[in-house]
Amino acid sequence: MSLGDPIPRRDGPLKVAGRATYAADQHPQGIAYAAPVLSTIASGEVLSIDTRPAMQRAGVLTVLTPDNMPALGQLTDLKGGTLGEPRLPLSDRLVEYDGQLVGLVVAESLELANEAAALVQIVYAPGTPRSEIERSSDRFRPKDFYGIAELQTQRGDVDEALSASPFRLQHSYETSVEHHNPMEPHATTALWEGDRLIVYDSTQGVISTRNVLAHFFGLPAGNVRVICPYVGGGFGSKGYVWPRTILAAAAAKATGRPVKLALSRQATFSNNGHRGRTIQTVSLGADQLGRLIAIRHHTLTQTSLAGVHVEPSGIATGMLYACDNVAVSHEVARVTTGSPTAMRAPGEASGVYALECAMDELAEAIGMDPLELRRRNHAVSDPETGKPFSSKHLLACYERGAQAFGWSRRDPRPRSMTANGMLIGWGMASATYPANMRPSSARVEAEPDGRFVVTAATQDLGTGAYTILAQIAAAALGVPVEKVRCELGDSALPEATLSGGSSTSASVGSAVHEAALKLRTQLSAGGAPMAEAHHEPGELEKQYSAHSFGAHFVEVAVDPELAVIRVRRVVSAMDVGRILNHRTAQSQIRGGVVWGIGMALMERTGFDPATGRLVTRNLADYLVPVNPDVPEIQVILIDEPDPHFGPIGARGMGEIGITGLPAVIANAVWHATGVRVRRLPIVIESILHQL
């Protein structure tokens, strides 16, 4: 057995037996249930809250409102944690979006809590909602994306280069507000033991959650324990700490009882983040050989009234292709919605969509094969930083993907390919996502029976962390993987980073690798049976630009009469560094592709422009791909270890699968129908009248 072996998912047996316990599966002794009271206006103020009808119900323990919510710590200096909504729940009477938490009922039973929440009487002074970017003049230009990437950049002279380009085009592309909708709605079970707080939370970061709770409740970090052995999907929506976690802890403190707060699906739409809508304008200039001379990429997106998160759509634009003149800019409008947050490939999912649609339009304008256009603009080193890439096999992705798909048989003319009365379209696009590495620790212990246990305060969102971390440890220890198990998802374990930005393999994996090597050395010298390691990006990582790359190829079929669009097959070739487990890796890419199908053809959160209220707050109105929507997805993994990124050379792969895919579908729809749709999702109405 070695690294990369496709061993079955370690957490599989528990999950198929229904024995994996999620945050809302906890039943501590004496449990009480909480139900939120959500605002029914999108903007304004709470004038009064009458909780008496709810409190009169036998079995209702308390109703927390802005009137009686205990004061929590200051909103500054969160000591290593991040709030999804930079605003404390129930701290004032302002209503800044529909579905804001304005109260919390705690009762003896779930049904009683839900009933009592409906009895809370609120009088509002409504303000003027503005849920659409177009209606908001409150705008700003963000400087950077969490200090990771600049959001206003320029190199060369774009205006000059564009006007000198033999081929140039400019188009606007739009993406919709999207919601993560993990199958596990956000949930927290909180209990106090004296001055110690224990929280079972559905989170992508037990350490971040612990730090935020310790800060707001005025406790030493050691007095807070956040436990999360399994997460029912996160995709970014459980990355930061959202109001429910803080409220559950406050409710448990107020009642002296363990409190379970499991949000309804509807409630998860309002204050657990979303991807902001984007309106992107892309200008491309190229010469007769298809070589890019200029790129301009401007993004207009949105955040909430208090929000800081913005969808950084231009984040990959300066890096993806060789081009001397590139300008990237972002502008943000404040709207009366909940706060946006990171959602699978924040920036790349929306931005590579726009750029790769524009590239397809450029290929059409020049009369060049879209794949050949990408090849001609291949960047050997990072054109933005000038640094060499740590490792890059994008050309191999193009070649192997195209070959597996049969791309050379594509007739470039739109509407030229048909099958069984359907219009057939073939599209392709590049995919990319950065390699992220953040400080993390891990411990490896030898047990008396010859087995080993890996521990780290990371979490497995369904990504395969339990499996690959055991494989990494086993390889470094030189023992069969059956002898290694992992314990994760507990803030009492060695501190590890948030599960976000596809960073776990490189961050926690590197720490596990080093701890295991250390232990191996210790054991051979008769030393202690336990070793811990801390890993963070070093000099090596600074010298290189580290990104993953890939290429997607998709076939769609469009019904010429009904305009129904079906994805018939997908080939995705991915260069993500070393593959740690070929089975779970394939699933990660497939999952990203399925998300791309959803983004391209289904997902859109709607707001009523008159009231600013959400109109798609359930899974019948907000559509996600279901089984018949998903065809065979062939995943080709290049599996070239990255020699300049961490000790293992794995760059992470949770997010790259969605990038580029919506563009491929848009490009394939054009190829099938001759209709360019520049707004996602592409639905029947988008093309019906042009077929």
Partner 1 sequence: MTPPDLSRRDLIYLTASGGLLGLGAPGSNAEAESQQAQARPEKRSVELTVNGERREFQIAPSVTLLDALREHLELTGTKKGCDHGQCGSCTVLVGGRRVLACLILAISEHQGEPIETIEGLARDDGVHPLQAAFVAHDALQCGYCTPGQIMSAIGLLREGRPADDDAIREGMAGNICRCGAYEGIVAAIRSISAGGVE
Which contiguous run of DSSP H or E holds residue 158? helix 158-163
- Given 178, 184, 655, 685, the catalytic residue: 655
**Which pair of structure tokens corresponds to residue 631?**
């065809």
What size, in residues, is the chain?
A: 691
Footprint of partner 1 on 427-466 (CB under 8 A): 461-464
Instruction: Look up 655 and say whether it is catalytic.
Output: yes
> What is the Cα–Cα distance from 260 to 110, expressed in whole angstroms?
9
Q: Does 16 engage in binding with partner 1 (CB under 8 A)?
A: yes
Question: How many chain residues interact with partner 1 (CB under 8 A)?
Answer: 87
| Binding range to partner 1, per CB under 8 A, among 220-228, 291-299, 516-524, 621-629 | 621-629
Provide the minimum distance between the beta carbon of 21 and partner 1 in the complex, in angstroms, as a whole number: 7
Alpha-carbon distance of 179 to 346, in angstroms, equals: 12
C-alpha distances in Å from residue 649, one per residue of 331, 436, 472, 579, 620: 36, 12, 12, 9, 42
Distance of alpha carbon 212 from alpha carbon 86, whole angstroms? 12
Residue closer to partner 1 by CB (options 165, 204) is: 204
Q: Minimum CB separation from partner 1 for residue 480, in Å?
A: 19
Q: To 5 degrees, how large is the angle CA 667–CA 434–CA 202?
A: 95
Q: Which is nearer to partner 1, 28 or 388 (CB)?
A: 28
Question: Which residues, numbered 148-207, are part of the site for partner 1 (CB under 8 A)?
Answer: 180-185
Question: Which listed residue (71, 525, 610, 620) binds partner 1 by CB under 8 A?
Answer: 620
Nearest alpha carbon to residue 65 among 138, 120, 128 = 120
Q: Measured from the CB of residue 43, what is the shortest distance to partner 1 in angstroms?
A: 15
Q: Is 254 in the site for partner 1 (CB under 8 A)?
A: no
Does 24 interact with partner 1 (rule: CB under 8 A)? yes
**Interface with partner 1 in residues 78-137 (CB under 8 A):** 98-99, 109-112, 114-115, 117-122
Q: What are the DSSP calls for 565-614, one per residue? A: EEEEEEEEEEE-BS-SBHHHHHHHHHHHHHHHHHHHHT----B-TTT--B
- What 3-state class would DSSP assign to 404? helix
Choice between 128 and 266, CB closer to partner 1? 266
Applying CB under 8 A, among 171, 483, 583, 644 the residue interacting with partner 1 is 583
**Nearest alpha-carbon partner for 642 in 551, 571, 544:** 544
Residue 245 contacts by C-beta under 8 Å, 6 or more apart in sequence?
188, 190, 199, 201, 203, 209, 212, 213
Pairing of strands 278-286, 44-50: unpaired
Residues 397 to 416 in contact with partner 1, rule: CB under 8 A: none
Using the structure block, give the residue that is written with the tokens 């969808």. Answer: 311
Sole window of 86-94, 393-401, 521-529, 618-626 interacting with partner 1 (rule: CB under 8 A): 618-626
Give the one residue of 613, 651, 671, 678 binding partner 1; rule: CB under 8 A.
Answer: 613
18 forms part of the interface with partner 1 (CB under 8 A): yes
Q: Report the chain's C-alpha Rg in angstroms.
A: 25
Residues 122-132 as b/e (b if ≥16 CB within 10 A, e otherwise) read: bebeebebbbb
- From residue 430, give the alpha-carbon distance in Å to each of 281, 317, 378, 380: 19, 12, 11, 15
Verify binding: residue 559, partner 1, rule CB under 8 A.
no
178, 285 Cβ separation under 8 angstroms: no
Q: Does 604 bind partner 1 (CB under 8 A)?
A: no
Mapped onto helix, strand or coil, the DSSP state of residue 531 is strand
Q: Which of 633, 669, 672, 680 binds partner 1 (CB under 8 A)?
A: 633
Nearer to partner 1, 135 or 583 (CB): 583
- Residue 664 or 675 with smaller CB distance to partner 1: 664
In the complex with partner 1, which residue's Cβ is closer, 232 or 351? Answer: 232
Which one of residues 217, 321, 595, 645 is an interface residue with partner 1 (CB under 8 A)?
595
For CA atoms 64, 68, 74, 79, the dihedral sign is: negative
List binders of partner 1 among 509-528 (CB under 8 A). none
The yes or no reply on residue 552 touching partner 1 (CB under 8 A) is no
Q: Minimum distance from CB of 264 to partner 1 (Å)?
A: 4
48 binds partner 1 (CB under 8 A): no
List the end-to-end C-alpha distance of the chain, in Å, as a whole number: 54
Name the segment binding partner 1 (CB under 8 A); options: 51-59, 317-325, 520-528, 549-557: 51-59
3-state secondary structure 257-315: CCEEEECCHHHHCCCCCCECCEEEEEEEEECCCCCEEEEEEEEEEEECCCCCCCCCCCC
| Residue 594 engages partner 1 in binding (rule: CB under 8 A) | yes
Can you tell me which of 265, 438, 566, 676 binds partner 1, judged by CB under 8 A? 265
Using rule CB under 8 A, residue 294 touches partner 1: no
Tell me which stretch binds partner 1 (CB under 8 A): 228-236, 513-521, 571-579, 678-686: 228-236
Among 3, 34, 37, 246, binds partner 1 (CB under 8 A): 37
Which member of 625, 646, 649, 662 binds partner 1 (CB under 8 A)?
A: 625
Nearest residue to 634 (alpha-carbon basis) of 547, 558, 568: 568
Q: What are the tokens at 172? A: 């606007």
Rule CB under 8 A: is residue 425 a binding residue for partner 1? no
Burial of 179 (0-12, 13-18, 19+ CB in 10 A): buried
Q: 331 to 390, contacts with partner 1 by CB under 8 A?
A: none
Closest approach, Cβ 80 to partner 1, in A, equals 25
Among 3, 4, 11, 307, binds partner 1 (CB under 8 A): 11
Rule CB under 8 A: choose which of 232, 239, 285, 383 binds partner 1.
Answer: 232
Q: Single out the residue of 450, 628, 685, 689 in contact with partner 1 (rule: CB under 8 A).
A: 628
Q: How far is the CB of 359 from partner 1 (least distance, A)?
A: 26
Q: Which of the stretches 32-40, 363-371, 390-398, 674-682 binds partner 1 when contact is defined by CB under 8 A? A: 32-40
Closer by beta carbon to partner 1, 154 or else 264: 264
Q: Is 76 in the site for partner 1 (CB under 8 A)?
A: no
Binding mask 459-488 for partner 1 (x = CB under 8 A): --xxxx------------------------
CA–CA separation, 28 and 48 (whole Å): 34
Strand partners, 490: 227
CB of 369 to partner 1, least distance (A): 29
Contact 228, 201 (CB under 8 A): yes
The residues annotated with a catalytic role in the active site are 655
